Amino acid sequence: MNSHSDPIAFSDPGEVPVLDWLDTQTIDVDARYQRGLDEARVERILASFAWDSFGAIVVAPAGDRYHCIDGQHRLEAAKRHPKIAHVPAVIITSRAVEGEAATFVTVNRDRKNVSQLEMYWAELAAGNPEAQTVAKVAERTNIRILRSPTPAKDTKPGDTMAIGAVRALIDARGAMRAREMLAILSGAALAPISAHHIRAVERLITDPEFRDQMEADSLLESLAGSNFEAEAKVFASTHRLPHWRAFASVWFKATRKKRKATGAAPAAAPTPQGVRPSLRPVPAPVRLAARPAPQTAHTTTTARVLGDPEPGRSALDQRGRS
């Protein structure tokens, strides 16, 4: 590391680029180094086109026209927008196609994509309804969503970084059913709660293969204070299963053994009121939803309704019928 007295060796930044607004019809894409166009991405940009988030594309002169080096999807969306004729551009100097390709490599190699965890916190700050629903579910189940990736040894019971799995669970099952399942993991004091854990408990509580033999109270009791990581890892390797399926199998076996050891009778088929997990570890009382009748999977991902839906309807049902 250089001391304050040592000179710092900076690279030559090169020629200063020009910032300008260019006619979209004068800008081309060179297929020799550019990626193929992702139509779905272009349509997403076009559907919510806004200058606030457009930024500037990067181009290089090509005769009396320009080649787009970075921002081809934004450029294509601008070309399709009836009210857009010019776009802001950073105009660099390059050495023919070799220089353009080298710039393309540098720009994309050094770019850091926004993670799901970072996106969640940004959406929450922006007041996104879906992010607010996730935050409310987490709060009511005593789960703490971490702000950044954290080593497992530094996490506390109830911590999670698996924001993608939490969102997928809420989208698929609705906010109240998701709370039932997440409350089991929170009550078991897992640290951290992983995506494997979330998918495993969802399988045990909802899959016809397990749900009629699985009581949430018994599952929580089996998980509390136990570490099944090593056993699940061996099971996954031996049976060539995804890690989350291995967790589900190991947890099911442990819960069934515990019931037999205590002389408990096999669990009866659940009543229409559904499975009720023990929520004693959760500070705030949680009302449990009735198990919805089998139905096709929901694909809606934008929550417009916060809080508890009316009895007998999942949060996603409400969103689709609003």
219-270 tens-digit pLDDT: 888 888 777 888 999 989 999 999 999 999 989 988 876 665 555 554 444 4
Choices 3.90.1530.10, 1.10.230.10, 3.30.70.60, 3.40.50.10860: CATH for 18-109: 3.90.1530.10
| Residue tagged 């950044």 (tokens) | 148
The pLDDT value given to residue 156: 93
Q: Where are the domains of the chain?
A: 18-109, 116-321
The pLDDT value given to residue 134: 96
The pLDDT value given to residue 102: 72
CA angle 254, 259, 261 (to 5 degrees): 90
The pLDDT value given to residue 300: 39
Q: How far apart are CA 239 and CA 44, in angstroms?
A: 41
Residues of the chain with pLDDT under 50: 266-291, 293-316, 318-319, 321-322
CA 198 to chain centre: 13
8-18 tens-digit pLDDT: 888 777 778 88
Q: How far apart are CA 161 and CA 119, in angstroms?
A: 12
Number of C-beta neighbours around residue 299 at 10 A:
9
SS3 136: helix
- Nearest Cα to 99, choosing from 15, 24, 182? 15
The pLDDT value given to residue 272: 43
Exposed e or buried b for every residue in 73-82, given b needs 16+ CB within 10 A? bbbbbbeeee
